[in-house]
Amino acid sequence: MTLDIKQLTIKQAHELLINKKMSVLELAEAILKVAEDTRDLNAYLEIFDDVREQAEVAQKMIDEGKGTTLTGIPFAMKDNILIKGRIASASSKILENYTATYDAHVTKKLRDAGVIFVGRTNMDEFAMGGSTENSAFGVTKNPHDKTRVPGGSSGGSAAVVASGSALGALGTDTGGSIRQPAAFCGVVGLKPTYGSVSRSGLIAMASSLDQAGPFAKTVEDAEIIFDCIKGHDSMDSTSYTDEFINIKNKKPKIIGVPTEFVHAKGVDERVLKNFEESLEQMKNAGYEIKEISLPSLAHGLAVYYILMPAEVSSNLARFDGVRYGYHADGQNLLEDYMRSRGEGFGREVRRRILLGTYVLSAGYYDSYYGRACALREMLKKDLEKAFGGVDIIATPTTPTPAFKIGEKSNDPLQMYLADIFTVPVNIAGVPAISVPSGFIKEGDSMLPLGMQFIAPHFGESALFEVGKDFEKVQESNRI
Ligand code: GLN
């Protein structure tokens, strides 16, 4: 049997490596070849020049019996996660030449586990967007149909895992940026509980919503990566202690479905059909499906598009072109700022800074920011209540399959609607996973769809369980 490197999972690669069926270098070179062959996707912003040296270190770890499941595994990092000595640009012109001076907490954990960092992946500028079209370095193409977007903002990370040029990748998710591209590219994506993975060393977008998390081909692989990166970190004041993070959940049995919300205007009929079929399969697999009412979910988008820009406007104030980053000279200091920021940031980023500054300004604060904060609490409480009667909540991950490049880029409101199912999860801080749920045919292409499972705080182990069960029913359906 010949080995299809593009289909290889982390678990399988690990077994090949420890049984000496393959060396770390052979694996790394095979992956570099895939990266070379799929360059037209524009998923990597940079392939690192020390992959072979890293492979040597990892091989030594394995040979000395010091390896972990991730040792020697070729891995990709979204461009807003710091790797010491490497550029971290967040796909922005303003940070084009910024070199990280330290490792993010997640980077250090992965490095200690022995992964091979293959390169950094393309994204929407500062993680603002859902298509990678807002990158200063060109759009990434969807491996399933190159005329379509891979989703975003972590589109590069989703595309490298889907196309086989990394076995796993990290992304960040502020309103859906891991789950939505995972769904569009047909891979698994996990947004962990807020506070279970350290944000130290991530380039911040909206600090009360941001979380880093894994992309992988299978739920099992996503779990392996999550187990490596999770844990308390004293450098992140919102990080929980390990006794919370490591809670083991009881086996999930009841799946709640907010039917009214799922049938919102603008959700593609084929997505709904796929969703109903997926639920039916879970029912056959022994899960109880229960209808729930969660009317506050409908406010999710409105709340998100007030809170997120507010935090963006204050987080991005630090990029002034003085200490680091893109600098343009003006006649005086104020003009320096205006030119550096005006030329350094792209359109969408400037739009959100303006919006955020507006909603925080005197006279508007109470009617926008204050009200959004109040609604956030309401949404959290409603979800908590719903979880009193169900173990998991399910929705489609996205209202449509991957859209065409350019289709929504001039209509920000349409683009924002694509986040309808994912943003409530970030607002509440709970974890959610997107698992591939099949394909729909569109012209000559088969476009992947995703099923989103949501759990209460620290419910990751329940998500992995339900996710694996879902993979099984999908698998038996294909046979
Ligand atoms: N698409 C959403 C946005 O544009 C989510 C972004 C994210 O999660 N980083 O804000």
Give the per-residue pLDDT at 410: 87
Asked if residues 326 and 94 have their Cβ atoms less than 8 Å apart, the reply is: yes
Residue 208 catalytic? no
Q: Is the CB of 153 under 6 A from ligand 1?
A: yes
pLDDT over threshold 70, residue 330: yes
Which atom of ligand 1 is found nearest the CA of 418?
Answer: 1
pLDDT band at 412 (very low <50, low <70, confident <90, very high): confident
Q: Is the CB of 205 under 6 A from ligand 1?
A: yes
Residue 153 catalytic? yes
- Residue 42's region, left for phi above 0, alpha for psi from -120 to 50, else beta, is left
Q: How far is the CA of 149 from the centre of ligand 1 (A)?
A: 14
Q: Is the CB of 173 under 6 A from ligand 1?
A: yes
Residues 351-395 have pLDDT tens digits of 999 999 999 998 888 999 999 999 999 999 999 999 999 999 999
Q: Which of 78, 109, 230, 408 is catalytic?
A: 78
Q: Is the CB of 176 under 6 A from ligand 1?
A: yes
Q: Ligand 1 pocket: which of 173, 177, 349, 434 to mutate (most atoms <8 Å of CB)?
A: 177
Q: How far is the CA of 153 from the centre of ligand 1 (A)?
A: 6
Give the per-residue pLDDT at 479: 62
Q: How far is the CA of 203 from the centre of ligand 1 (A)?
A: 14
Give the per-residue pLDDT at 265: 84
Residues 238-249 have pLDDT tens digits of 999 999 999 988
Asked if residues 174 and 79 have their Cβ atoms less than 8 Å apart, the reply is: no
Distances (CA, A) of 377 to 86, 92, 373, 381, 434: 39, 33, 7, 6, 25
Asked if residues 343 and 349 have their Cβ atoms less than 8 Å apart, the reply is: no
Which atom of ligand 1 is found nearest the CA of 209?
Answer: 8
Q: Please give the radius of gyration of the chain, using alpha carbons only, rounded to the nearest integer.
A: 21
Asked if residues 121 and 79 have their Cβ atoms less than 8 Å apart, the reply is: yes
- How far, in Å, CA of 454 to CA of 463, rounded? 7
Q: How far is the CA of 130 from the centre of ligand 1 (A)?
A: 6
Give the per-residue pLDDT at 413: 85
The closest alpha carbon to 401, from 431, 432, 445, belongs to 445
Q: How far is the CA of 174 from the centre of ligand 1 (A)?
A: 6
Task: Give the residues across from 87 on adjacent strands.
Answer: 99
Q: How far is the CA of 128 from the centre of ligand 1 (A)?
A: 5
Percent of the chain with pLDDT over 90: 94
Quick one: DSSP state of residue 366?
Answer: I
Q: Is the CB of 129 under 6 A from ligand 1?
A: yes
Give the per-residue pLDDT at 477: 78
Residues 62-115 have pLDDT tens digits of 999 999 999 999 999 999 999 999 999 999 999 999 999 999 999 999 999 999
Average pLDDT over residues 424-450: 97
Mean pLDDT of the chain: 96
Which atom of ligand 1 is found nearest the CA of 206?
Answer: 9
pLDDT over threshold 60, residue 453: yes
Using the structure block, give the residue that is written with the tokens 């399933």: 144
Average pLDDT over residues 445-450: 97
Which atom of ligand 1 is found nearest the CA of 172?
Answer: 9
Quick one: DSSP state of residue 192?
Answer: P
Question: What fold, for 1-479?
Answer: Amidase signature (AS) enzymes (3.90.1300)
Q: Which of 89, 91, 153, 154 is catalytic?
A: 153
Q: Ligand 1 pocket: which of 353, 419, 425 to mutate (most atoms <8 Å of CB)?
A: 419
Q: How far is the CA of 177 from the centre of ligand 1 (A)?
A: 5
Residue 445 catalytic? no
Residues 149-172 have pLDDT tens digits of 999 999 999 999 999 999 999 999
Give the per-residue pLDDT at 1: 57
Average pLDDT over residues 280-294: 97
Residue whose CA lies nearest to ligand 1 atom number 3: 129
Q: How far is the CA of 46 from the centre of ligand 1 (A)?
A: 23
Q: Is the CB of 181 under 6 A from ligand 1?
A: no
Number of CB atoms found within 10 A of residue 303's CB: 21
Q: Is the CB of 127 under 6 A from ligand 1?
A: yes
Give the per-residue pLDDT at 2: 76
